[in-house]
Amino acid sequence: MAEVNTGDGGGHGKHDKKRAKKASTKIDMTPMVDLAFLLLTFFVLTSTFSKPKTMEINFPAKPKTQEERIKVNNALTFILTREGAGEKEDGIYYYYGEFYAPNNAAGKPVTTYTRTNFSKDGLHKLLLNKNATTIAEIKKLDEKHEKREIADSTYKRLAIAAQGNIKALTVLIKADDKAVYKNIIDALDELKICNVGKYAIVDMSQPELDILNAIKKK
């Protein structure tokens, strides 16, 4: 509380001159300190602390043989690199299904790479087409979830099951020593947007790298 002490200013004698009264002010800061601590406590208790953002990346078990590494069934494989003058241009190639090297034992034609990019008509459109069944199934779950026909826990469980279905798209991401980290993150973001639940970053085999280098030399 504020207190003001005033004196009588003198002037009691007959010939004494009256002086102006001087006021001394004393301010009690205790209530303000209490209020500051109450506000601090309120904001601490009601604020939401930022949570660390992480990205889940799956790494498969290391294959025992090189032949086992090459065999990939029912999967879409992306190969990331850098090319062009000074290798400043993003390069992304893909092939679908199992990889067949030149002069393979199965007598299959050599796997051919198709070039694409990170535009909406490139990688994004490709994933939407290849993963159309899973996307349609999750869209139905979204509609039921919005209408409160299924609980949150049920929605998450069914969405994970749809993405992990044996018929759902599997994506393998491979990169050579020229690829940049940003391109890998961009590819993972597209997988998330297109509801691809089965994906992994794996090493590129030597036959795959040989074909890639041959394409870049052309």
Q: What is the pLDDT of residues 129-162, one digit of tens each?
A: 999 999 999 999 999 999 999 999 999 999 999 9
- For the chain, helix (H) and strand (E) counts, in that order, are 7, 7
Q: What is the pLDDT of residue 86?
A: 67
Asked if residue 95 and residue 26 are part of one domain, the reply reads no
Asked if residue 79 and residue 17 are part of one domain, the reply reads no
Q: What is the pLDDT of residue 51?
A: 66
Asked if residue 193 and residue 108 are part of one domain, the reply reads yes
Asked if residue 185 and residue 118 are part of one domain, the reply reads yes
End-to-end alpha carbon distance in the chain: 86
Range of the domain at 36: 3-46
Residue 208 maps to a domain:
yes
Q: What is the pLDDT of residue 31?
A: 82
Asked if residue 86 and residue 34 are part of one domain, the reply reads no
Asked if residue 212 and residue 180 are part of one domain, the reply reads yes
The C-alpha atoms of residue 1 and residue 152 are separated, in whole angstroms, by 55
Asked if residue 94 and residue 19 are part of one domain, the reply reads no
Residue 174 maps to a domain:
yes
Please list the ranges in the chain whose pLDDT falls under 70.
1-24, 49-74, 85-87
Residue 22 maps to a domain:
yes
Asked if residue 104 and residue 12 are part of one domain, the reply reads no
**pTM here?**
0.67
Asked if residue 37 and residue 74 are part of one domain, the reply reads no
Q: How many domains does the chain have?
A: 2
Residue 117 maps to a domain:
yes
